[in-house]
Amino acid sequence: MVQCLVFLLCIIISQSYGDKDQVVTSRGLIIGDRHKGYSTFLGVPYAKVDLDNPFGPALEYPKFDKPFIANDSSVICPQVYFNDNGTIQCLHLNIYVPHTAAKNNLRPILVWFHGGGFAFGSGGEYGGQYLAKKDIIVITVNYRLGAYGFLCLDNPTVPGNQGLKDQIEALRWIRSHIIHFGGDANQVTIAGESYGGGAVDLHLYSRYETLFHKAIVQSGSMYVTEGIFVKPDYKAAIKLVKQLGYDVSITSEALRILAKAKPADVNAATRNLSMILTVCAEKRFRGVPNFITENPFHLGNSYRIDGMPIMIGYTSQEMLFEFANKPQSFYDNLGDPFGLQIEKTFLLSQKELEKISSIIRHFYLGYKEIGPEAQLELSNFLSDFAINYGVEWSTNRYIEQGAKVFKYLFSYTGASDYRNITGAGASHTEELKFLFDWIWANPLTNAEQLMMRERMIRMWANFVKHGNPTPVDFQPLHWPSVTETSRPYMNIDVDMQMKKGTFRHRMAFWNLFWHTYTKHNFLLN
């Protein structure tokens, strides 16, 4: 009798929703949209924010009391920058499913963590249809940002790194429910770019259970020096409420006030205080799960990393956007760009700072003046210091712990806003427009650009499926993995080539620099 009722219900639902796609999960019925070659399930909630403590652990999302219509990817978490339209209940997934996926034909899964400095961005910005058409399931994730995701306090209710713990909850949801979409929970690749790539790097070392099997780290690392890892500010909640006009000196009271404040006001206070809220080494409390409790210099997890396929790389001129096409007045107001960067990361005397700044300036600029004619050299410096060396550092750590690492450099500039600058490389985020239907990119139009997209999505999908971006049938390219004695990398451009030692002279310079000054890093002082 029960089986007959279920059968009749399915017929009624099918008639009601026509060509919509339907998935029955243990949480209830989810209705998505069917497209040519794939289906989408957008804005699916994976957890619920506790409104009494929106800065702390997520709650299980209740079962749907009616079919959930999954057609809206516009919900975003509260944003520190660029947008005040975020909402607290934002813990959603966007799922792209190829029509080949079924319970008797489970497909591997790519889970995407967006970048944005843990301060802005959302999963809905990244359309996953191009990759899904390569026979993989693509899932993009919202997670809490700014104070809601990265307050790091001396308080067991908000110990820190909640945004990363949201990502853990998303991965747990995927493990439990993705089979209903035709996904293989035993073939999960986590991936991300910029701070999203840094998040992937950190997941390799977290104290949680392993919920993935491969990793892709794009232009990110926990070692990047743009503030991905900071010392905890145990007074951050008190500072925020004081900025909002309250005279409070106790963290628990500050949290009570912040929980009832408008997210736009909390984020405005964060901006006005120039407060950087990102990843920290959490304080341990009895019975409270931690994501990470050590700084990057003391992390290791060979049990998880040994044998894991990892793809990692960056663009050929990451920080070009900071200097390209700027007027002379920009450079006149720049001051000492070398010393300014070094003092953000290292605690040094003024005399030592000036000495180091002079050495770095001559290494990159020679005797050029700081101005528009030095934009490429300045871009190379900031690229190396802020991103490239950190990625190389992470690569070395993976090799030490037994990972199978595939390294790349994205050099194609045929769709770049800076392609008319002689000698310019590919800037930060440049590869994203070839992997996703990314809302911030202009459409790809000419044959060369579309050919590059086909290459990119094929290599990335191959890695998700096989743990190798160029398996045997991917001719004529062969992409060998990195070894302890060799550093091959794929130079991704119109002319695809395997090369060795990305920017090896510049990386040798920074290797010597860090060897000399690591003990002065602010995390160790």
Q: Are residues 282 and 416 in the same domain?
A: no
Asked, for residue 179, whether it belongs to a domain, the answer is yes
Q: Are residues 326 and 265 in the same domain?
A: no
Per-residue pLDDT for 249 more than 90?
yes
Q: Pick the last residue of a domain from 299, 325, 342.
A: 299
Asked, for residue 12, whether it belongs to a domain, the answer is no
- Mean pLDDT calculated for residue range 279-308: 94
pLDDT value for 13: 46
Q: Are residues 286 and 370 in the same domain?
A: no
Q: Are residues 424 and 492 in the same domain?
A: yes
pLDDT value for 475: 64
Query: pLDDT-derived band of residue 226, with 50, 70 and 90 as boundaries?
Result: low
Report the CATH number at residue 343.
Answer: 3.40.50.1820
Q: Pick the last residue of a domain from 240, 269, 299.
A: 299
DSSP assigned state of 386 = I
Q: Are residues 186 and 332 in the same domain?
A: no
Give catalytic status of residue 39 as yes or no.
no
* Owning domain of residue 135: 21-299
Check: CB of residue 364 under 8 Å from CB of residue 381: yes
Contacts of 6 (CB under 8 A, 6+ apart): none
Q: Are residues 504 and 358 in the same domain?
A: yes
What percent helix, strand, coil does the chain show, rounded to 5? 40, 20, 45
Asked, for residue 15, whether it belongs to a domain, the answer is no
Q: Are residues 241 and 290 in the same domain?
A: yes
pLDDT tens figures, 175-192: 999 999 999 999 999 999
The type of residue at 324 is: A
Write out the E strands in 144-251: 183-193, 214-218
Q: Are residues 32 and 104 in the same domain?
A: yes
Q: Are residues 162 and 287 in the same domain?
A: yes
**From 39, 73, 194, 357, the catalytic residue:** 194
Angstrom distance (rounded) from CA 141 to CA 44: 10
* Bridge partners (DSSP) listed for residue 22: 31
The type of residue at 153 is: L
DSSP assigned state of 407 = E
Q: Pick the last residue of a domain from 240, 268, 299.
A: 299
Asked, for residue 13, whether it belongs to a domain, the answer is no
Angstrom distance (rounded) from CA 218 to CA 307: 20
Asked if the peptide bond before residue 476 counts as cis, ω within 30 degrees of 0, the response is: yes
Asked, for residue 30, whether it belongs to a domain, the answer is yes
Write out the E strands in 235-386: 309-315
Asked, for residue 16, whether it belongs to a domain, the answer is no
Query: pLDDT-derived band of residue 1, with 50, 70 and 90 as boundaries?
Result: very low
pLDDT value for 442: 92
Q: Are residues 277 and 355 in the same domain?
A: no
pLDDT value for 15: 43
Angle, in degrees to the nearest 10, between helices 236-243 and 251-260: 50
Q: Are residues 143 and 248 in the same domain?
A: yes
Closest CA to 57 of 151, 122, 141: 151
Check: CB of residue 177 under 8 Å from CB of residue 27: yes
pLDDT tens figures, 430-448: 999 999 999 999 999 999 9
Q: What's the domain count of the chain?
A: 2
Asked, for residue 14, whether it belongs to a domain, the answer is no
pLDDT tens figures, 498-523: 999 999 999 999 999 999 999 999 88
Asked, for residue 93, whether it belongs to a domain, the answer is yes
- pTM of the prediction? 0.95
Write out the E strands in 26-105: 28-34, 38-45, 68-69, 92-98
Angle, in degrees to the nearest 10, between helices 350-365 and 375-383: 120
Triad 444, 450, 451: Cα angle to 5°: 155
Q: Are residues 436 and 287 in the same domain?
A: no
